[in-house]
Amino acid sequence: MKKTSNNLIPASTVLIIRNGKNDLEVFMVARHHEIDFASGALVFPGGKVDSKDIGPDIRNFIVPDKDYVDEELSFRIAAIRESYEESGILFAKYKANENLINNEKLEELQKWRDRFNKNETSMQEFAKKENLKFSIESLIPFAHWITPDLMPKRFDTRFYLAAVPDGHKGTHDGKESVDSLWISPRQAIEDCLSEKRTIIFPTRMNLEKLRNSKTVEEALSNARKQRIVTVLPRLEKTKEGVFLTIPKEAGYGDVKESLENLR
């Protein structure tokens, strides 16, 4: 998909979650320091929507076969592709199977992950050659963020929440991301505040939102109930300084972040 007329770049991000020993865990990757966006930061798998994400017959390779408008479907297909590229986790079903593909089948498909990372294939070709159907229903809308207009590069990003399929462990690609881990939202936030890890503002805010849930089941249930309110951070100047604020109704609480902290 090309940039929209208002120069917003469409992108998708996925918070892939599992139940840990004592808390909910989310899969995160460390970005390569030479990447032009969030270099070196700990992020959720995600990236730009690609023009090849929506092929002419892509609707034949999704489940459930709902009447999604092209724009929404492109974000969801991109989310599944980016998850596969950056984490090796694939939200897809094999033929008529009711369950998501298992780890054994995932290993057989490894060559496709390499091809995606080299931009040598498309989601439609992948699904057709391997008799797959992409599990759109695995993705629960979690948030919608738009980069402030004061930034040189602006993204229109849809965040999705998804439970990791059984047996899928998650591994970074070694190219765009150089490390990966499963971590509780609480621990990730603590590591950020102590400057042990770099986590950009939107990622940290969505970790804050996710930390309200203690299990996968609770997180998915909460996400299904919520109303998605678009977040377009705005500057607010006071006697105390300049702050970044986001809408209270978006579900993040009363956020007033000093620009000094962001620097």
Q: Is the domain of 79 the same as that of 176?
A: yes
Q: Is the domain of 198 the same as that of 110?
A: yes
Please state whether beta strands 62-63 and 92-94 pair in parallel, antiparallel, or not at all (unpaired).
unpaired
Q: Is the domain of 164 the same as that of 263?
A: no
What is the number of residues in the chain? 263
Which of 110-124, 165-179, 201-215 comes out lowest in average pLDDT? 165-179
Please list, in sequence order, all residues whose beta carbon lies within 8 angstroms of the beta carbon of residue 67, skipping any fewer than 6 positions away: none
Q: Is the domain of 99 the same as that of 67?
A: yes
Q: Is the pLDDT of residue 151 over 90?
A: no
Q: Is the domain of 61 the same as that of 178?
A: yes
Considering the domain boundaries, does residue 206 fall inside one?
A: yes
Report yes or no: 140 and 14 within 8 Å, Cβ to Cβ. Answer: no
Considering the domain boundaries, does residue 3 fall inside one?
A: no
Average pLDDT over every residue of 3-32: 87
Considering the domain boundaries, does residue 39 fall inside one?
A: yes
Task: Classify each residue of 129-158 as buried b or exposed e, where b means 16 or more C-beta atoms within 10 Å of its C-beta.
Answer: ebebbbbbebbbbbbbbbbeeeeeebbbbb
Residue with the bigger pLDDT between 35 and 148: it is 148
Q: Is the domain of 160 the same as that of 211?
A: yes
Which of 89-98, 111-120, 137-146 comes out lowest in average pLDDT? 89-98
Considering the domain boundaries, does residue 1 fall inside one?
A: no
Considering the domain boundaries, does residue 142 fall inside one?
A: yes
What is the structure's pLDDT at 258? 80
Query: How many domains, in total, are found in the chain?
Result: 2
Average pLDDT over every residue of 49-53: 92
Rounded CA gap, 112 and 161, in Å? 24
Q: Is the domain of 108 the same as that of 212?
A: yes
What is the structure's pLDDT at 6? 63
Q: Is the domain of 89 the same as that of 198?
A: yes
Considering the domain boundaries, does residue 197 fall inside one?
A: yes
Largest CA distance in the chain: 62
Q: Is the domain of 138 the same as that of 255?
A: no
Please list, in sequence order, all residues whose beta carbon lies within 8 angstroms of the beta carbon of residue 41, skipping any fewer than 6 positions away: 30, 31, 197, 198, 199, 200, 203
pLDDT band at 238 (very low <50, low <70, confident <90, very high): confident
Considering the domain boundaries, does residue 137 fall inside one?
A: yes
What is the structure's pLDDT at 37? 47
Instruction: Indicate which CATH number applies to the domain containing 152.
Output: 3.90.79.10
Considering the domain boundaries, does residue 2 fall inside one?
A: no
Tens digit of each residue's pLDDT (9 = 90 or more) over 12-23: 999 999 999 989
Tens digit of each residue's pLDDT (9 = 90 or more) over 90-114: 999 987 678 999 999 999 999 999 9
- Round the average pLDDT of the chain to a whole number and report it: 89
Average pLDDT over every residue of 130-144: 96
Report yes or no: 79 and 143 within 8 Å, Cβ to Cβ. Answer: no
Q: Is the domain of 74 the same as that of 203?
A: yes
CA dihedral 163, 200, 179, 36 (to 10 degrees): 120
Q: Is the pLDDT of residue 4 over 70?
A: no
Alpha-carbon torsion 134, 136, 137, 141, what sign? positive
Q: Is the domain of 170 the same as that of 47?
A: yes
Give the range of the structural domain holding residue 74, as residue numbers without chain letter.
8-231
What is the structure's pLDDT at 32? 54
What is the structure's pLDDT at 1? 43
Q: Is the pLDDT of residue 171 over 50?
A: yes
Q: Is the domain of 125 the same as that of 247?
A: no
